[in-house]
Amino acid sequence: MSWFSKFKKDIGTKGTDKSVKVPQGLWMKCNNCGEIVYKKEIERNLDVCPKCNYHFRINIKSRIDSIIDSGTFKDLDADLESIDFLEFKDTKRYKDRLRDAWKIRDTKDAVISGEGCIEGNRVMVAFFDFSFMGGSMGSVVGEKVTRTFERALGERCPALVFSSSGGARMQEGIMSLMQMAKTSAAIQRLKEAGIPYISVLTDPTTGGVTASFSMLGDIIIAEPKALVGFAGPRVIEQTIRQKLPEGFQRSEFLLEHGMVDMIVDRKNMKTTLANLISMMYG
């Protein structure tokens, strides 16, 4: 076996021209099934795992492009910007956290709100960006969502919100919590006028966002396997000291218990929304 030993020793020898270098970032590991999948294949599939249908989190631009008709979206509140009115500081000053977020994001806060068309149907819509401070709801986020509902009322067209949030923004204290009542009151005015509001829950939707406008839609839609709840499952387990059911707080669990109306794959979301709007407000 001396020939094999020699061959084995030569494998990977420094300076060899036969070594293969694989470029970084070509493959991704699915968070759900653990399969290694070609990144381009996932991107072509709207950031959905082709093996198990797990929906990866997507950035706000990709979300808008997948839902709104090309060239029709108008950002109507781009000038709104959070301020550190409490001069809040934990391990870092709030104003520094905001400044860091602005440097790496195209938005001034965790929501982009405006108007657009979905298969020709005009809507007022707000999109959450979880990558901006965990999609947390401060006074600017609450104002943008409220304006979405108020515009829908004024223009008499449907309202949509795509939620993805860790909840209230602690750096703004009570002003953040007040947004729960503010947005809910705006929804009530929509209901009284008979104007539909569709809420779409994406991964994750938690805290004060869940406890207010996200669960108040005339129709509530969730993406597959999205985490939806008030407190997170780990916090609940530690509090009640009991093991939670399998899939607790995931979209499928909520659908089974009547908390959402339907689960819709990302590839079918735009068509589903267009059909619902036509039926409700055609």
Per-residue pLDDT tens digits for 159-183: 999 999 999 999 999 999 999 999 9
Determine if the peptide bond prior to 204 is cis (ω within 30°).
yes
User: Could you tell me if 145 and 184 are in contact, meaning their C-beta atoms sit under 8 angstroms apart?
Assistant: no
- Distance (Å) of CA 16 to CA 7, 19, 22: 13, 6, 16
Q: What is the pTM of this model?
A: 0.88
- Kindly report, residue by residue over 40-65, the tens digit of the pLDDT: 998 899 899 998 988 998 999 999 99
**pLDDT confidence of residue 168:** 95
Beta-bridge partner residues of 162? 127, 200
- For the chain, the structural domain boundaries read 17-56, 58-281
- Taking Cα atoms as reference points, which of 63, 55, 118, 47 lies closest to residue 271? 118
Query: What is 58-281's CATH number, 3.90.1310.10, 3.90.1170.50, 3.90.226.10, 3.40.50.720?
Result: 3.90.226.10
- Distance (Å) of CA 178 to CA 163, 170, 232: 18, 12, 21
Q: Does 21 have pLDDT greater than 70? A: no
- Kindly report, residue by residue over 222-266, the tens digit of the pLDDT: 999 999 999 988 889 999 999 999 899 999 999 999 999 999 999
> How far is C-alpha 236 from the chain's CA centre?
22
**pLDDT confidence of residue 224:** 96
Q: Does 281 have pLDDT greater than 80? A: no
